[in-house]
Structure 1
C-alpha cells in the first residue's frame, strides 16, 4: 500500500489535467440511424466498429445469444465495403465451449486484424438456480425458474464440460488474422480485457488498457504488444483515486493517443463517488505512468477516437432517461470536453450502449452500438451516421 500511495502522490501532480472543464457544445447533425444486425432471433451485445486501411468497415460483437447472460455467446463479425451502406452476413470468428462475450476489433499498422473477447461463466448462477427448482418428469427435466425448452438447452450446454474444464476456459483473448479475415489464429492470452480492445500507437506498439478478470487481484492497468499482437506483457498499473475501490468499481477501459502524444484512458466507474460516470487518466511517457483518475461526465462505457484534424471523440452509453448514446468532442488533446451530442435518445431502457465510432473518408462519423428494442425483443446492433460542423 505504501508503494501505491507513493506512486499516486508523485505522479498525480506531474500531469496538467487537474480537472476537466466544459467546452461549448459542437454543432452536429444525425444523418441516418438504422438497425444493421440481421438475425432478430439472437441477442447481439457489446460491439466495436473499426475501419481498415483499405476502407473496409468491420463490426464484431457477441452474437448467437439468447439473452444478456447465457451460455451461448460467440464472436461474430460483419463487414461493409460501402462505408456502412450495406453489411455482409454475420461470420463466426470464434465459438468456444463457454460464453464468448464483448468483442473489440483493430487493424494494426501492419494490416493484421485483431479481434478481442473474453470468456465467462456468469450464466452459472442462473442455471444453478433453475437446477435447484428442477424435477424429472415423463417429458424430461422441468424447472419452475425457466421455460422447459430453455432449461434443456442450458443443461445440454452446461454439461458439455466438467466444472474443472469450464474453469480452464476462462480468460481474456485476442484472435489474429493476417489475410484480411479469411482465417484466424487460435485464441491468444492478452493479460487484460476491455470491450473495445487495444489501440495502435505511432511507435508501432499495440496498447491494451483494461482489467485482469480472472486473477486474484483483478488489477486495472496497461498491457502492450511489440510483435503485432502475438504476445502481450504487463506494462503499468493505473493508480486508484483516493477513496475508490478499483477491483469492485473500475471496469471497461479504452484509450487513445492524442495528437501531442498524450495517452488518454477512460474508465467505467461504479464507486460511490461519481457512480455511473466515466473517469479519465493520462500518460505522457508512453504508458509507463498514469495520472490519478478524475471524472469527465455521466455515461459509460466510453470509446475514444482521434479524428484526422486532431480532435478527439468520446462516445458512450447514456443509461438514464432519455436512454441512448452520446458523444463529446475535445479540441485540446483531452484537457477539456464539450457538451454532449445526442446520437440516439429513443431507448426503452438501460440495456444498450457500448458505442464506438469511426471517421469515414468524407469526414462523416459512423457509430455502432447494441440496444434492446420493443421489436425485435432481443438486442440488435444499431448504427448512426452523423457529421460535426
Structure 2
C-alpha cells in the first residue's frame, strides 16, 4: 500500500471526529440570492483532498440560482482548521526555463509566444518573433491558453494601471502582471505566502479585501483565481471589489463549476468540491447573478484552461480512496470522458470544469 493510500485510510479517523459545535454556522437561505428553496446534493461529504478537516458535511443546491453551498458550515472563526495542510501556494507553471536551456523547437515556440505577449500584453521579452502575433490571431486554440495564463489582462494605460490580486499566494501572478507593466498589489490570508511575496519585493497585505474598507476607485483590474469559492460572503466581496475598482475597471474570476461534466461523472469525489474549504460553489447562472447584483455589467465568459484530464485524474484517484496526488493511471474510459468534456465545453459554457468570467464597473 502506498504512503498516500495509507494516509487516506488513516484520515478516516479525522473524518469521524466532529467539527467543533460552537464553530458551526447554519444558513437555511442561499448565500447568493437569499432563497430558502433548495435541494440536497450530497450528504456525508468529508475532506478527501487534504485529509485534515474533521467532520461530515451536507451540500445544498439553490432552486433559484443553482449555486451549491455547505449548510451548516465552518464559521469564520474556525475555518482555519480546514487549512492546516493546505499547500496551494507553491510555485506554478508560469515560471519558465531559461531560453538557453531549451531545445531548438522549444526555442522557436518560446520566440513565437513572446512575440505575441509583447504585442498583446506589453511584455518586453527579448527572444521574440513577431510572427507569433499572426499565428495566435489566426489560431484560437493557440491564443486562448496564453490569454488565460495572463488572465486576459488588457494593455495597461500609458499613465499607469493598478492591479489587485485577491488571494495572490506567494505572488506568482503579481510577477507576471508586473512584467506586463502593471503596478501590482496583492492580498492573501496565508501569512507564510504573504511573507514570501513580500520578500520577493511585492506589496502584499495579510488579510482580506476588508483592508480597503472605506476606500474607493483604487484599481483598474482585480483578479480572483480560485478564491470566491472559499468566501463566506461572496456577494459582499464582489460589492467591495466594485467599490474599489475605478470607473470602467474590470474584474476577472476563475472558479470551479458545480454544473460541470466532471462533477456529474464523479459526484462526491469530484476534485472541485474540496469540502469543507469550498463553501459556495458557483454555477454559470449563480456567478452571473452575483456579478449583476454587485453592480457589474458587460459580463463575458472566457474559455477555461485545458484542465480536464488533470481534474478527471485527481477525481478518479479520490474515487479509489487515494490522495488526489496519487500516480494512478487514468483508465481509458475516464480519459475518453475527459476528452469529451473538453470539447463539449467549447460549446456549453455552463458545463465547463472551471468558470472564467470578466465583468466591468460602469464608467459613470
TM-score normalised per structure 1: 0.26
Counting strand residues as a fraction of each chain, which structure ranks higher? 1
